[in-house]
A and B are shown apart, each in its own frame.
Chain A
């Protein structure tokens, strides 16, 4: 979470000679990152990033405490002042006896519950310095009472709430979990229908007066007519506050603090300061007994830290005195133990309990204050055997080759819209669907790369008429709603104004480049959602893809002319790629070239296949063209061991025409 604090407020808790930027730089290097410093007259506004596990730093005091621990490591004097942890006892006496009936239905909901009634309060505007302070923190002044509750949170990191005492029916506050369907109206005017198990407060008539830990209720709010209040400081169970705050979409500062497990010890000092400010600024006086329900002070078992282990993790040797000094400045209690005095027994302060639980956490504290920037740079002497994932090798070779011969690579989103899938005649139900999409454009994981590529072609029709495109990416298949979809890497190739034979030529060249043995490549007609005509590409008996023309309907959907497209399953292709080189020694004997025309109703690919497997002396077959059922080929006859005669060749030719 990000907080905004004026340096002047932090200074109220930090005694140091260091300059503002000196403090800022060391905080950033060793503690909370100060993202930005904006000078404002004699002051400066600090925007600070508080990391999730350090809610203890989410306040001016918290930042000051960090600075006071860090600065001395670098020879700068620094000390905390106005330390709330030295103000842990209730400071006030009661001057009246107004009753306040507290009922906690479930102690697990709240770790500390403190409250006191004050009277003679005068609600009015805040003074100028308070208004200025709040504005520096990015908040607006509301009235002197609300402003005090905000100021307490900024100073000490402990959210409080102030109710109008007279609006509490029966002077009763019942803390319980909510029931499903209960309604509460919060101070921002929003009505919430609760899902149940939220932490709520009800008054004597059962009306919900507080969405605990998040925002106060409208029913109990302080207004101009308020004369008596309840100052109410508490520490709630973190996971419930988080859940409620997320689904009600009330991500208040209070919620963000409580969900991160703040220290209940802060409650009393905040209560003390709250009473102080309410009496000074609103004329209030304590009018009842203190309520402080606090079953257990947070405590942790002592942690053991092996200093040898610490040095091994850091990669540098640290003096034990340095380590102890750092821990103590952070509020830990550290004592050397063990025979060789190289183990530290460490007691964790209350505001770090729950967060510092293992020796690695201690290592982090010590090393960050020592200064990560002091760590030298070395490389590990760790080596693993050289390996290259076959699929990655295939993808790289494919991409590089296609780019080298003129294709432009696309990176389309894996998430597509239902509409795009339908345009390509693909079943939307087969595509994995997001349960929380961001927009209607990205709702499903694609099951084919083709629709996105067709959209790319469509987009580029006016600007790149002859462009060729490809994409290599995963598609997500076999979605059954409960197990992981199969992520299959695929290649799709197409282009604008692209002749079918040219695309096929690119495919054949690609196979050659990848050393895929195409002698057993066959094309089997197979119906396909968006291709017609369409064939399956089969190598041996493995289906490696589909090839064909985009069907007229689908082409029309995308505003495209007749367009060829091929989609390959790279995973299926991978074991068939990078075969051994098939080297043939060059024959010393001359070849004989002949042309032949075969009349046949068989597809050309079948004829080519038969021709190529017909005779070992027929070393090359080139397809020349067809006229209706007459298919012409140029044949090369050659022997590695002798001159061939014209008669031999003629005889072989006669046999070949029988293949028709």
Chain B
């Protein structure tokens, strides 16, 4: 056996016995490294012998590389194991955005896609912005509809986000105006379907040629976007002091598909196939004037709806008591 073959054989033995990749790396270094056994052997030989052994040396190197490679693959293959892939994962910590935040984000997105800008206006405001400037004089019967919390007789907790209309008009001064105000509102009511604090979103578009078909269009766009393309809306006559004409906006009931009946029986959820969404209307000229905008030059449409309300209607959450939405129990919050 030549010295080369002897070296090759030793190396092969070690490679065969190598238990892991690290060992293989060690063997490679030992034999083929700069200060490895092969180089040592080469350096120990006289030049004459070396010249003739060129081919042998190359053959040895190749053999070793192939052997190392092969053993490497075999060792790698051995580390592959099959196991139960269905085993439960180890989860990272999971947090939860509140239902209301999620609803607000969704509502905001729909209106942003229509080009509305989201604003925030005071929750606690002067009675002027919350009522009087909206054409609701003091002691007017319309005030009955909103049981308002007062801090002083001039400062109220807003019962609707409509104060945003006057504030936006004052801020922008010259139309066009296209804004959505989403904020907290307060009413002196607490029962199964009312919480003393809740959220509303209020939209306002003011421009030269605004008309009622635009109101129909915007309400339809939102309703279909939020509740589904199969839904329809309708405007029904109503009264608000700050709009004229005024409407209530209804949406078709998803339970009875707008027919009012389920298997011949009256649908329990809706009124004749329709569910109430909220109020809307053409901005009253007095309100425009109070906002510093000339009603002879501009017209506006506005709508104001409840966040909790649309949330409850969409998700079919079946939360029996609205106060539950404001529960702080982790077992509730962590479901969303």
Any B CB within 8 A of the CB of A522: no
Chain B residues within an 8 Å CB radius of A438: 149, 188-190, 196
Any A CB within 8 A of the CB of B299: yes
Q: Which residue of B is nearest A239, CB measured?
A: B139
Q: Which residue of B is nearest A445, CB measured?
A: B124
CA distance in complex: A51, B142 (Å): 9
Give the Cβ gap from B201 to chain A, nearest Cβ, in Å: 13
Chain A residues within an 8 Å CB radius of B132: none
Is the Cβ of B326 less than 8 Å from the Cβ of A52?
A: no
Assuming the A-B contacts A312-B209, A460-B328, A484-B125, are A360 and B237 also in contact, with contact meaning beta carbons closer than 8 angstroms in the complex?
A: no
Is the Cβ of A360 less than 8 Å from the Cβ of B284?
A: yes
Interface string of B302-336 (1 = CB under 8 A from A): 00000000000000000000000110111101100
Q: Which residue of A is nearest B331, CB measured?
A: A463
Chain B residues within an 8 Å CB radius of A405: 93, 95
Most chain-A CB neighbours within 10 Å: which of B213, B282, B334? Answer: B213
Any B CB within 8 A of the CB of A375: yes
Chain B residues within an 8 Å CB radius of A384: 115, 117, 176-179
Is the Cβ of A360 less than 8 Å from the Cβ of B149?
A: no
CA distance in complex: A580, B169 (Å): 33
Give the Cβ gap from A29 to chain B, nearest Cβ, in Å: 7
Among A3-11, A156-164, A344-352, A429-437, the stretch that binds chain B is: A429-437
Chain A residues within an 8 Å CB radius of B114: 379
Interface string of B261-295 (1 = CB under 8 A from A): 00000000001100000000010110000000000
Give the Cβ gap from A412 to chain B, nearest Cβ, in Å: 7
Give the Cβ gap from B185 to chain A, nearest Cβ, in Å: 10
Assuming the A-B contacts A31-B237, A367-B245, A399-B97, are A484 and B124 also in contact, with contact meaning beta carbons closer than 8 angstroms in the complex?
A: yes
Chain B residues within an 8 Å CB radius of A436: 149-150, 188
CA distance in complex: A25, B285 (Å): 31
Among B31-39, B53-61, B73-81, B215-223, the stretch that binds chain A is: B215-223
Choose one: B209, B212, B246, B325; the contact of A314 (CB below 8 Å).
B212
Within 8 A of A (CB), among B197-248: 197, 205, 207, 209-214, 216-218, 220-221, 234-239, 244-248
Q: Which residue of B is nearest A438, CB measured?
A: B188
Interface string of B88-100 (1 = CB under 8 A from A): 0000111111101
Is the Cβ of A408 less than 8 Å from the Cβ of B95?
A: yes
Assuming the A-B contacts A315-B211, A384-B177, are A435 and B328 also in contact, with contact meaning beta carbons closer than 8 angstroms in the complex?
A: no
Chain A residues within an 8 Å CB radius of B216: 375-378
Chain B residues within an 8 Å CB radius of A468: 93, 95
Among A221-229, A325-333, A386-394, the stretch that binds chain B is: A386-394
Any B CB within 8 A of the CB of A494: no
Chain B residues within an 8 Å CB radius of A407: 95
Is the Cβ of B285 less than 8 Å from the Cβ of A378?
A: no
Any B CB within 8 A of the CB of A215: no
Any A CB within 8 A of the CB of B258: no
CA distance in complex: A388, B211 (Å): 27
Give the Cβ gap from B261 to chain A, nearest Cβ, in Å: 12
Any A CB within 8 A of the CB of B126: yes
Chain B residues within an 8 Å CB radius of A476: 124
Give the Cβ gap from B162 to chain A, nearest Cβ, in Å: 16
Any A CB within 8 A of the CB of B52: no
Choose one: B101, B235, B330; the contact of A372 (CB below 8 Å).
B235
Is the Cβ of A434 less than 8 Å from the Cβ of B149?
A: yes
Any B CB within 8 A of the CB of A413: yes
Choose one: B92, B151, B299, B333; the contact of A408 (CB below 8 Å).
B333
Give the Cβ gap from B287 to chain A, nearest Cβ, in Å: 11
Assuming the A-B contacts A411-B98, A433-B151, are A379 and B218 also in contact, with contact meaning beta carbons closer than 8 angstroms in the complex?
A: yes
Is the Cβ of B236 less than 8 Å from the Cβ of A392?
A: no
Any A CB within 8 A of the CB of B155: yes
CA distance in complex: A408, B333 (Å): 7
Is the Cβ of A373 less than 8 Å from the Cβ of B235?
A: yes
Is the Cβ of A360 less than 8 Å from the Cβ of B285?
A: yes
Give the Cβ gap from A298 to chain B, nearest Cβ, in Å: 18
Any A CB within 8 A of the CB of B20: no
Any A CB within 8 A of the CB of B120: yes
Is the Cβ of B236 less than 8 Å from the Cβ of A372?
A: yes
Interface size counted on chain B using CB atoms at 8 A = 83
CA distance in complex: A379, B111 (Å): 12
Choose one: A36, A415, A485; the contact of B196 (CB below 8 Å).
A415
Q: Which residue of B is nearest A373, CB measured?
A: B234
Is the Cβ of A413 less than 8 Å from the Cβ of B95?
A: no
Interface string of A404-448 (1 = CB under 8 A from B): 111111111111000000000000000011111111001001000
Any B CB within 8 A of the CB of A186: no
Any B CB within 8 A of the CB of A108: no
Assuming the A-B contacts A377-B220, A378-B213, A484-B155, are A412 and B328 also in contact, with contact meaning beta carbons closer than 8 angstroms in the complex?
A: yes
CA distance in complex: A59, B155 (Å): 37
Any B CB within 8 A of the CB of A456: yes
Any A CB within 8 A of the CB of B122: yes
Give the Cβ gap from A143 to chain B, nearest Cβ, in Å: 31
Give the Cβ gap from A85 to chain B, nearest Cβ, in Å: 22
Assuming the A-B contacts A28-B236, A33-B236, A434-B151, are A414 and B197 also in contact, with contact meaning beta carbons closer than 8 angstroms in the complex?
A: yes
Q: Which residue of A is nearest B150, CB measured?
A: A435
CA distance in complex: A331, B105 (Å): 48
CA distance in complex: A467, B96 (Å): 11
Chain B residues within an 8 Å CB radius of A484: 122, 124-126, 155
Any B CB within 8 A of the CB of A260: yes
By a beta-carbon cutoff of 8 Å, the part of chain A in contact with chain B is: 25, 28-33, 35-36, 51-54, 239, 242-243, 256, 259-260, 312-316, 358, 360-361, 363-364, 367-368, 372-373, 375-384, 386-389, 391-392, 396, 399-400, 402-415, 432-439, 442, 445, 455-456, 459-460, 463-464, 467-468, 474, 476, 481-482, 484-485, 487
14 contacts across the A-B interface (CB closer than 8 A):
A33-B236, A54-B239, A259-B141, A364-B237, A368-B245, A375-B212, A378-B217, A388-B118, A389-B120, A406-B93, A409-B96, A411-B325, A433-B151, A435-B150
Smallest CB-CB A-B distances: 10 pairs? A406-B93, A315-B211, A315-B213, A364-B245, A464-B330, A51-B239, A403-B95, A372-B235, A360-B244, A380-B214
By a beta-carbon cutoff of 8 Å, the part of chain B in contact with chain A is: 92-98, 100-101, 105, 114-115, 117-120, 122-126, 139, 141-142, 144-145, 149-153, 155, 157, 176-179, 184, 186, 188-190, 195-197, 205, 207, 209-214, 216-218, 220-221, 234-239, 244-248, 271-272, 282, 284-285, 299, 325-326, 328-331, 333-334
Apart from A380-B205, A382-B115, 19 more pairs, CB < 8 Å: A33-B237, A36-B271, A256-B141, A360-B282, A368-B245, A377-B217, A379-B221, A382-B205, A384-B177, A386-B117, A405-B95, A409-B95, A409-B333, A410-B333, A411-B98, A413-B326, A414-B197, A464-B331, A485-B151
